[in-house]
Amino acid sequence: MATSSHSWTCAACSTPHSGLAMVFGPNAPGPWMSATDAERAGGELDADTCVLPDGDGSMNYFVRGHIEIPVLDSPDGPFCWSVWVSLSEDSMLKLAAVWEDPARADLEPMFAWLCTHLPYEPTTVALPARLHNREPGRVPWVELDPGVDHPLVHEYRTGVTMHRIAEINQQLIND
């Protein structure tokens, strides 16, 4: 796991924040975590993709990506939320066709919905986003719609301090 190596005394709390995790996120999309065993049996989950039947005969498609949040007071950034987004079947087919191909990086950005609960109020689920694919082996990045009024979008646009990252670490490690 990526951690910060830079160490200095935080202006906000006089603590030397170091060794903080710079990537956090669940290993499955929210709908998978709340699905029954029978529903999961009809789907599939790996480290980067997930398929889950939605109950009315169609399938839901999910891909993991990173929301990169600039860090304003340290060279150790960005801070990354590892999240899952849902894609249309059409987008998933386009992505699957070049999954192992460097041409994957040339795909147009894909409309997506955020499908991960992050520690913000209100919920981060169903925030609109766009998935930007990169070459195989690199996690796609997730662009949030900058016009949406939400605390996650605000941090995504303006960045955070290491003090905030220390708070996130404490909150998630104690959960």
Q: How far is the CB of 88 from Zn ion (least distance, A)?
A: 42
Q: Kindly report the CA angle at 83 between 165 and 115, in degrees rounded to 5? A: 125
Which lies closer to Zn ion via its Cβ, residue 9 or residue 36?
A: 9
Q: How far is the CB of 79 from Zn ion (least distance, A)?
A: 14
The minimum distance between CB 4 and Zn ion, in angstroms, equals: 12
Tell me the residue nearest to Zn ion as measured from the CB.
10
DSSP character string of 27-79: SS-HHHHTS-HHHHHTSEE-SSEEEEE-SSS-EEEEEEEEEEE-BTT-TT--E
Of 10 and 105, which CB lies nearer to Zn ion in the complex structure? 10
Q: Which tokens hold the place of 144?
A: 């949030």
Instruction: Give yes or no for a contact between 63 and 119, defined as CB atoms under 8 angstroms apart.
Output: no
- Is 125 within 8 Å of 30 (Cβ atoms)? yes
For 151, the enclosing helix (H) or strand (E) is helix 151-158
- Rounded to a whole number of angstroms, the minimum distance from the CB of residue 134 to Zn ion is 32
- Find, among 54, 43, 133, 145, the residue nearest to 96 by Cα: 133
- Shortest distance (Å) from residue 168 CB to Zn ion: 12
93 near 104, Cβ under 8 Å? Answer: no
Question: Which CB sits closer to Zn ion, 13 or 96?
Answer: 13
Binding site for Zn ion (CB under 5 A): 10, 12-13, 15, 163
Our CB check for Zn ion shows the closer of 15 and 158 to be: 15
Judged by beta carbon, residue 14 or residue 58, the one nearer Zn ion is 14
